[in-house]
Amino acid sequence: MSAKSARSLSLYAVGRSAAILTGGAVANQVLGVVRELFLATQIGATAELDAFLIALALPIALAGVLTSGVTVALVPAYLEVREHSGLQEARRLAGTILTWVAIAGAVIWLSLEAFAGFAIAITGPGLTAAGQTEAIGFLELLAPVAFLNAISAILFAICQAEQRFVAISAAAIAGTATTLVTMLLLWERLGLQGLAIGSLLGPIVVLVLLLGTMVRASVVPLPGLRSRGHLGSFARHAAPLTAGAAVLQLNVIADRAVASLLGSGAVSVLRYADVLVRVPVGAIGPAWGAAIYPALVRSTLRGVADSLALDAERAIRFATALFVPVAMLTAAVAPLAVAVAYGRGAFSTDDLELTAGAVAAFAPLLLILMVSPVLTGALNARRRGPVLLVGATLNVVLNLVLDVVFAFSVGVVGVALSSSVTSAIVLGFFAWRLTISEADFRLHAIGRTLALAVVAGTPVTIAAAWLCWTGRTPSDLVPALGALLGIGAIGMAGYFLVAMWVGMEESRTLVRLTVGRLLHKTLSW
């Protein structure tokens, strides 16, 4: 084995870890899609659903504010302490952080209960008086989610550092399944209130399962208010990340607040489109990010100057080669995909058209959400918290400005477009900053892969868009589903053929690895 390959991040090893998480994420996404399809059929895009979504966003966003930076900083801090001081000391550090997060989570919970009316007035300014009353009732029920999610986030981070990926997958699946089953059982009697109850029970199940797994693995955090000298470096890394997360979480609230001003059902349309776009990447992206982050952290511990740069660049090039066509084809098939997913029951023709436009506008996120974990993971591995804080601030400012500009010119589709444009700009900023700290990180190599991927994906995208946006695809569910799958398969096959023809090395490697694995499995049978 060459020195370079010996020191490089193993994409196969990361892929194997990601595969475990992806399996769970696929099941989790299927359950989530079933929930959304049920809602679309039963109530469509309505003011009542708008009220629920605005109320649910608050405890989730505030838990994210509290823990997003903390969990990212915890992984390298935990691994470093574990390596140099042992497991017991790492558990003590994790327990101290968990204790303070639990206290802060409880304060958020009680504050939401006490000031529910004020919070809804700010986050749902376009809701009617009746809608605000409904949203307040939902928020009073869902406020504990902030506390539960905050604790679970710390436990997830510890499992990530310990590479307990099966536990992460199982807990996530169980939580979503609990929410879905509770909603279905209570729907006839309680309607959306049943979903709200399920949204509270799901996080409880997640927390219980994570604790049970950690008890069996003897990695339960040791609660306390102090740690032995390790909190200083952790706090210096976590502080800017937490500030960045606090700023970044405003995006969800801002998007829904602006959408609420566009008319009844606009928030619901945004949610339906977002869910549909994130189904493919939602099964892979979180798994990919959770698996690659500890690997990038370990790259910085090897003592090889260019290790992190080479690992990050390689991961981004392969993610780009694979997900550029996925994003392009998603925009192309948006009307067909929306019709297959939601085109029945209470979902109207207007709802279908608006959701298709929002899906197309969200499509670039499929690529962005795969590249972003590599860039942010590399910056976090070097503990570049201030850079991530600047990126988060830039994200929120741009998103809010573009929300207003686009929303009042093209409607709810503009809110979706704002998210994609903003995320792309911030991603470019992170890549530029990484070139400053990592001299061997080559933007031109990534740019070449991106350009070749766009060129290779253009012919199949134009053909698919012509079929789907001009109404030349079947309208009945089964033929439409067949057409969607067929267009996707033929489109990806066509992309790889053109990509290899134009000389994209990453596509050749992906095809060679895929064919090799299939042949190996066939021969082993």
pLDDT in tens, 465-500: 999 999 889 988 889 999 999 999 999 999 999 999
Residue 299: band (very low, low, confident or very high) from pLDDT cuts 50, 70, 90 = low
Q: Which domain holds residue 161?
A: 64-248
Both tokens of 46, joined, read: 């309505």
Domain tally for the chain? Answer: 1
Q: Would you say residue 128 has pLDDT above 90? A: no
Asked if residue 175 belongs to a domain, the reply is: yes
Rounded to whole angstroms, how far apart are CA atoms 142 and 39? 19
Per-residue model confidence (pLDDT) at position 24: 64
The residue type of 450 is L
Which one, of 249, 341, 338, 329, lies nearest residue 281 by Cα?
329
Rounded to whole angstroms, how far apart are CA atoms 339 and 351? 10
Asked if residue 229 belongs to a domain, the reply is: yes
Per-residue model confidence (pLDDT) at position 230: 64
pTM as predicted: 0.69
Q: With b meaning 16 or more CB within 10 Å and e meaning fewer, what string describes 121-153?
A: eebbebbeeebbebbbbbbbbbbbbbbbbbbbb
Q: Would you say residue 520 has pLDDT above 60? A: no
Rounded to whole angstroms, how far apart are CA atoms 216 and 521? 34
Which one, of 175, 186, 184, 120, lies nearest residue 148 by Cα?
175
Lowest mean per-residue pLDDT among 134-138, 226-230, 330-334, 403-407: 226-230
The full DSSP string for 469-507 is HTT-S--SHHHHHHHHHHHHHHHHHHHHHHHHHTT-HHH
Per-residue model confidence (pLDDT) at position 292: 61
- Largest distance between two CA atoms of the chain: 69
- Mapped onto helix, strand or coil, the DSSP state of residue 167 is helix
Q: Are 439 and 490 in contact (CB under 8 A)?
A: no
The pair phi, psi for residue 221, each rounded to 5°, is: -60, 145
Q: With b meaning 16 or more CB within 10 Å and e meaning fewer, what string describes 365-398?
A: bbbbbbbbbbbbbbbbbbbbbbbbbbbbebbbeb
More confident residue, 369 or 134: 134
Measured N-to-C along each axis, helices 365-381 and 47-85 cross at an angle, to the nearest 10 degrees, of: 30
Rounded to whole angstroms, how far apart are CA atoms 112 and 140? 7
129: Cβ contacts below 8 Å, ≥ 6 apart: none
Q: Would you say residue 42 has pLDDT above 80? A: yes
Return the residue matching tokens 């992806």. 22
Residue 22: band (very low, low, confident or very high) from pLDDT cuts 50, 70, 90 = low
Average the pLDDT over 327-332 and give the result: 94
Rounded to whole angstroms, how far apart are CA atoms 293 and 377? 5
Q: Are 403 and 416 in contact (CB under 8 A)?
A: no
Q: Are 116 and 104 in contact (CB under 8 A)?
A: no
Q: Are 57 and 135 in contact (CB under 8 A)?
A: no
Sign (positive/negative) of CA torsion 252, 253, 256, 262? negative
Asked if residue 174 belongs to a domain, the reply is: yes
More confident residue, 88 or 140: 140
Asked if residue 74 belongs to a domain, the reply is: yes
The residue type of 430 is F
Task: Give the C-alpha distances (Å, rounded to integers) separating 229 from 84, 103, 224.
Answer: 13, 21, 13
Per-residue model confidence (pLDDT) at position 23: 62
Check residue 441 and report its DSSP letter.
-
Asked if residue 236 belongs to a domain, the reply is: yes
Check residue 302 and report its DSSP letter.
S
- Kindly report the number of other CB atoms within 10 A of residue 164's CB atom: 22
Asked if residue 195 belongs to a domain, the reply is: yes
Rounded to whole angstroms, how far apart are CA atoms 97 and 100? 5
Asked if residue 455 belongs to a domain, the reply is: no
More confident residue, 249 or 322: 322
Task: Give the C-alpha distances (Å, rounded to integers) separating 331 from 276, 325, 327, 510.
Answer: 11, 10, 7, 23
Quote the radius of gyration of the chain (alpha carbons, Å): 23
Of 249-258, 306-315, 451-460, the range with the highest mean pLDDT is 451-460
Asked if residue 329 belongs to a domain, the reply is: no
pLDDT in tens, 153-197: 999 888 878 877 778 888 888 999 999 999 999 999 999 999 999
Both tokens of 39, joined, read: 């809602």
